[in-house]
Amino acid sequence: EIVLTQSPATLSLSPGERATLSCRASQFVNINHLAWYQQKPGQPPRLLIYATFNRATGIPARFSGSGSGADFTLTISSLEPEDFAVYYCQQRTLWPRTFGQGTTVEIK
Amino acid sequence: EVQLVESGGGLVQPGGSLRLSCSGSGFAFSNYHMFWVRQTPGKGLEYVAGIHDNGINTYYVDSVKGRFIISRDNFENTLYLQMSGLRPEDTALYYCVKSGPDWAFNGDNWGQGTLVTVSS
């Protein structure tokens, strides 16, 4: 099983600031098999980024993804009030698909 | 609009059984691979089982092998998860998830979930 470790666990930032979230895999993940999700309370996860770099339909340009091998990053260039939420990375290189434990982006 | 509506959750005693259902609409159900994903505060998000569009090939996380069975009825546009030998650690919110084309993330859809509680 591929273990995904996200850091930090919590990010305390103000609106307008830049957020950088990390996802480190226990082994190689194909760049086409890495995604980022956002989850808000009472809602299912929503796809933000797929295949490491690509924004899903309707996702604003302030969200971007990068990385390769076993290190991946989600960047939010300038936080909007609606961006404060929990973010998960997910891989599908190996079954079972796995998620990281999540990074909470909270208002400072 | 794609809709996935889960049902069948509830309170069950350890060792008991439960069958979850997921009704899909707004898309060609038989053309998409499907999953059950569960979420708990402690363990986070976990893929429990997956099934090919044709219903023949299935996949399970180790912790549920031999206890859970995923199946589908492509005529009724319904996904199922038959759960038996339930344990307290199976307590979770269970989501029905439609894969994107060819197992891709892009184009996936999630239901709102159904809560399963295993407790005496």
Q: Region B46-72: what's the mean pLDDT?
A: 97
At residue B107, the pLDDT reads: 84
Find chain B residues with C-beta within 8 A of A46's C-beta: 110
At residue B47, the pLDDT reads: 97
Query: What DSSP assignment string belongs to B31-66?
Result: GS-EEEEEEETTTEEEEEEEE-TTS--EEE-GGGTT
Nearest CA in chain A to B93: A44
d(CA A12, CA A105): 6
Of the pLDDT bands very low, low, confident and very high (cuts 50, 70, 90), residue A88 is very high
d(CA B16, CA B85): 6
pLDDT at A26 over 90: yes
Find chain A residues with C-beta within 8 A of B59's C-beta: 95-96
At residue B43, the pLDDT reads: 86
Instruction: Name which of A44, A54, A92 is nearest B103 (Cβ-Cβ).
Output: A92
A99 closest CA partner among A53, A20, A36: A36
Q: Region A35-55: what's the mean pLDDT?
A: 97
Q: Region A32-53: what's the mean pLDDT?
A: 97
Q: Which residues contact A84 (CB under 8 A, 6 or more apart)?
A: A105, A106, A107
d(CA A77, CA A50): 18
DSSP assigned state of A26: S
Find chain A residues with C-beta within 8 A of B113's C-beta: 44
Q: Region A14-31: what's the mean pLDDT?
A: 97
User: Nearest-CA distance from A44 to chain B in Å?
Assistant: 6
Sign, CA torsion B28/B73/B58/B90: positive
Residue linked to tokens 């295949």: A51
At residue B81, the pLDDT reads: 98
Nearest CA in chain A to B42: A101
Give pLDDT tens digits for B34-46: 999 999 988 899 9
Nearest CA in chain B to A34: B105
Give pLDDT tens digits for B94-108: 999 999 888 888 889
Find chain B residues with C-beta within 8 A of A56's C-beta: 106
